[in-house]
Amino acid sequence: MNQDIILGIDPGYGRVGYGIVEKAAGQDWRALDYGCIETPSGGEFVDRIAEMHRQLLLLIKKYKPTRMAVEDLFFFKNVKTAIKVGQARGVILLTAVENKIPVDEFTPLQIKQAITGFGRAEKSQMQKMVAMILKIPGKIKSDDAADALAVALCAGQSLWKKKLK
């Protein structure tokens, strides 16, 4: 059976959103898991990204994703935060490469366009569409997890368009 499992990531260093979606041929996308990897705010930065790496490895081992999709950095008002998120993003990408998982990267604009058809969609619109596509009842509690599911779905749509050609 032709099946894809995509691990979507909303990068950060204090909170990393993750969403794992699956699609088998002829079926709709479904959420396998979603949530946040959280590291203690008082901890050393290197310890925090090492913990993030360990938690990602556990998700990879459990779900065996065939692809990883990561949101690209777009804009940060705080340069110090942007640098830290960029470093965490490097750890995320390296984790995928070490585990021989192909990586897709998407900007927020691309993700919003893929999910809602409108690149300037509001966060609430995005969350509603993600929940509707994946048939998740109610509101997804974590914005980071909802964003990660959106990243995974964006990659999934892109992947299946390629397969249909």
Residue 73: HSE in the Cβ half-sphere, 13 Å Cα cutoff:
19
**Residue 144 marked in a binding site:** yes
Q: Is 10 a catalytic residue?
A: yes
The CATH number of the structural domain formed by 3-164 is 3.30.420.10
What pLDDT does residue 128 have? 93
In the chain the first and final C-alpha atoms are separated, in Å, by 19
**Mean pLDDT of all residues in 99-119:** 94
Q: Which of 10, 22, 104, 147 is catalytic?
A: 10
What pLDDT does residue 75 have? 64
**Residue 10 marked in a binding site:** yes
Q: Is 147 a catalytic residue?
A: no
What pLDDT does residue 134 have? 96
In the chain, beta strands by DSSP E: 3-10, 15-24, 30-38, 67-71, 103-106
Distance CA 50, CA 155 (A): 26
Q: Which amino acid appears at position 16 of this protein? A: V
Q: Tell me: pLDDT of 36 over 90.
A: yes
Q: Tell me: pLDDT of 118 over 90.
A: no
Q: Which of 4, 22, 71, 104 is catalytic?
A: 71
**Residue 44 marked in a binding site:** no
